[in-house]
Structure 1
Amino acid sequence: MENKYIVALLRAAINNTTPNNPPDNIDWKKIYTISAANSIAGTICPAIMRLPKECQPDKDTINLFSRSEMIAVCIDSMQEYELTSVMNSFEENHIIYTPLKGWFMKKLYPFPYMRTMCDVDILVNKSDLPIISNILKEHDFQYESHTNNHDGYIKSDKISVEMHWNLFPEDVPYHDYFSDIMSKLIDADDKAYMKKLSKEDYYLHLIAHLAKHFDRSGTGIRSLVDIWLYNKKYRDTLDMNYLNLGLTELGLSEFESTIYKAATQLFSGDIWDDTTLAITNYVMSSGTYGTKDTYIVSALNKKGGNKLSYLINRIFPDRTFMEMHFPILAKCPVLLPACWLARLFKCVFFRSTNVRNELSTLKNATSDGTLDENTKIKKMCGLN
């Protein structure tokens, strides 16, 4: 019941309408907990405030929603200020750059703060990374992390930015399709060195990014809002031949069709079919960026439910995974066995609680039905 009413509040918020009054026995504390976990507590606050006073939650709960909205407004303002300043420096240094995902998506919401971002993703040429690093340091960003497709920087523990040279890591099945995306960029309207993806490539990236998270640790309801708002704005102007060819090559035709249908039913229709209901429950329980338990069960699912195979893969990950944690392997792959031992030592002696939790999730995955549910939802969406 709470999940369905959260969707009603979301629909009202993004359409600037007044939601239907809640059921008499609605649990507002539960609505706040679920919406906060999905990073939409601030998003739905305006819709809640449009309800008749007698239908609104108690004062303490109202304050929780209002506080989430204020925090979202502040974070959006800080991100906008800091990243605009960084991008101006990119312009001055003739750095080609392409802001991704949320940076443009938030402009499709009634107010930008409604679409929160944990970090800002920017696509750049890998050869420009040394200059970019210096620019970010000049703006008081500190280097934080490295993967095989991006470097992460953070400022004051509040503003995070990821500099991507590839849209996906090498172990993601969509990596190869987007590996030459830099050659497909088009000019942005208002900047000399800012580029952007075509409407079709942006949508393909949006779908592939959603599929990656949906298939691994899960993703929140906000992802479906993104899909619906993007289609509402651009669907009639997209080159469907190009789009369908891309979806076919990515192996995501069925996934896109299912997700688009679900998003449409959620935010512009009144009747949900069983697939939409299952997807809604899955994303609501996943939180904005998924959960560790979902990641474990999804990984077990990919091993056909074989727990021994899962454990072997966890103890001895492939080199691509290990290089993210032991960069020296890129130059000295012969050290892989030693790095496996170092990682195992660290897990056993410094992350024993995490190990116990993972083993517990693994043990219960088959007996409590979560593996079967994971398999079912992936099959519904064409990901199995």
Structure 2
Amino acid sequence: MNESVKTGYDMLYLSLCALNDVTPDKERVEEMNNDMLFELCQKHSLISLVYYALAKVIAPEKRWLEANGKAVRKNMLLDLEREKILAFMNDNGIKHMPLKGIILKELYPKPYMRQMSDNDIWYDESHSRELEKFMRKIGYKDIVVGKAHHDEYRRPPVYSFEMHRKLFNKSQEPFYSCYKDINRLFIRDKNSKYGCHFGINDFYVYMLAHEYKHYSIGGTGLRSLIDCCVYIKRYGNELNFTYIETETKRLGISEFEEKQRILCRKLINMNFDMLCGYEKEMLEYFFLSGTYGNFENNVSNKLKRFDADGKINSKSKFKYIFSRIFPPMEFYKVYYPFFYRHKLFLPICFLVRVYKGIFVSRKKLKKEIQVLKKHNYQGEDKNYEKI
């Protein structure tokens, strides 16, 4: 077992100790590679959770104290800012629904254990102009609006909100079609005139769909798996798995859901000795991905999708390269809206992309070529970066 994977298991062990309020084995903690553990927890947004477990047996170093303090403070600031934004929506008749981590953090033993990168909120897109004006009014300047299925609003020092018009974009099928009209799934909040939420089954399905989107592209970090553990631990006996199986089959993720659910039940009980081969492979994929995946996973997974058997070969590489040179129109709609609206100028856009690839995104382009070359040496593998 290489050092990175070993540290991944250490991070998992400490995370589960924190969730189960178990005191970690002090000898094991003292044998851990603290530098690698800290770095990996940063990548996976698990500083606060692991810090809680470490603090039970050792005095954490200054960097752990500072990183945990920043994470907890950010959560508190986002909570306060979110309440301001939701109050505006309620006062102005904008239907809305907090998503993902906003809900999940309340299921952790202590909300601050679930480190937040940003806040995600679905809202009725017919009110996008009203929301944009309000966000500008309260100081959000670096705004990306109307270019994708969500709008991004940021304000120093830590505020970041993704306001979702849709839960998935058009290129993410079958997820887009299944969630195109989500009003059918809404349950009105009791204490909010225009606030909504999913039932526990639909939240679970959406959580898995969102996770799988990342898992199948560039990978997703251990925090996603821990979220699933927390959810199953809280609602496992109440979930309707007949309904869940029907919904996940529609989304094409029923096998993923079942495998991850079985894995989560073992992890909740800390039954590491019961893990089978594919479960260990899943865990290692999580360990090596980081919170938002990594570039090599992204390219490799895209290559596999160009082959009917999920293999990487010369044919799939040719199709991948062709798709990078001539991307679908949805790519232009998201990243180059001017050229999407004025298709006559698409040849100019091609030159713009070549220029950016050489002079702006040279490092990413170099990494992409390296991944393609790597698969040349390895042979067939059986098992949109913006330019």
TM-score, structure 2 normalization: 0.89
Residue 115 of structure 1 corresponds to: 114
- Once the two structures are superposed, the pairs formed by residues 289-304 of structure 1 within 5 Å of their partners are 289-304=292-307
The letter for the 1-side match of 2:361 is R
Partner residue, 2:341: 331
How far apart are residue 329 of structure 1 and its match?
4.0
Moved more, 312-321 or 26-35: 26-35
Residue 165 of structure 1: aligned partner:
165
Q: What is the distance in 2 between the residues matched to 1:260 and 1:241?
A: 14
Q: Does 1:350 align with 2:360?
A: yes
Q: Distance in 2 between matches of 1:349 and 1:28?
A: 38
Equivalent residue number for residue 70 of structure 1: 69
Instruction: Work out which of the residue numbers 10, 15, 21 in structure 1 matches 2:26.
Output: 21
Whichever residue aligns with residue 304 of structure 2, its letter is N
Q: Which residue of 29, 35, 45 maps to 2:41?
A: 35
Equivalences, count: 366
**Equivalent runs, 1:119-268 vs 2, <5 Å:** 119-146=118-145, 147-173=147-173, 174-268=175-269
Distance 2:157 2:353 in 1: 27
Tell me the CA shift for residue 289 of structure 1: 0.6
SS of the residue 2:26 aligns to? coil
Deviations 1:18-65 (A, max 9, x none): 1223436432222112122111122111111112x4xx6xx6xx2222
2:287 is aligned, of 261, 269, 284, to: 284
Shift of 1:153: 0.8
Matched-pair contact (CA < 8 Å) for 1:303–1:310: yes
> What CA deviation, in whole Å up to 9, does each residue of 1:45-88 have, x standing for no partner?
1111112x4xx6xx6xx222222211111100110111111111
Cα deviations by residue, 1:324-375 (Å, 9 ceiling, x for unpaired)? 1111244333433332222222212222222112211221134358x73xx5
Q: Aligned pair in 2 of structure 1 residues 341, 189: CA closer, same or farther (>3 Å)?
A: same
Match of 1:11 among 11, 16, 20: 16
Structure 1 residue 166 displacement after superposition: 0.9
| Structure 1 alignment gaps of length 5 or more | 377-384
The verdict on how the C-alpha distance between 1:231 and 1:366 changes in structure 2, with shifts beyond 3 A counting, is: farther
CA shift at 1:157, angstroms? 4.7
Question: What is the CA deviation profile of residues 116-171 of structure 1, one whole-angstrom value per residue up to 9, with x for unaligned ones?
Answer: 22221111111110111112122212252243311111111521111111101111
User: Is the partner of 2:369 in helix, strand or coil?
Assistant: helix
Q: What residue number does 1:307 align with?
A: 317
Residue 181 of structure 1: how far off its partner (Å): 0.7
Q: CA deviation at 1:307?
A: 2.1
Query: For residue 3 of structure 2, what is the aligned residue in structure 1?
Result: none
Contact 2:94 2:127 in 1 (8 A): yes
TM-score, normalised to structure 1's length? 0.90
Q: Structure 2 CA distance, aligned partners of 1:314 and 1:249?
A: 29
The range that moved more, 178-187 or 235-244, is 235-244
Q: Structure 2 unaligned segments of length 5 or more: list them.
A: 1-5
DSSP-derived class of the 1:168 partner: coil
Cα deviations by residue, 1:179-226 (Å, 9 ceiling, x for unpaired): 111332111132111111121211111000111100001000111111
- Percent identity between the two aligned chains: 26
Q: CA deviation at 1:233?
A: 1.3
**Equivalent pair of 1:5/1:22 in contact (CA under 8 Å):** no
Residue in 1 that maps onto 2:328 = 318
Comparing 182-191 with 318-327, greater Cα deviation is found at 182-191
- Aligned residue for 1:117, secondary structure, equals coil
The AA in structure 1 aligned to 2:33 is: D
Q: Which residue of 367, 371, 377 corresponds with 1:367?
A: 377
CA offset at residue 239 of structure 1? Answer: 2.9
Aligned AA for 1:233? R
The alpha-carbon distance between structure 1 residues 334 and 268, as it changes in their structure 2 partners (threshold 3 A), is farther
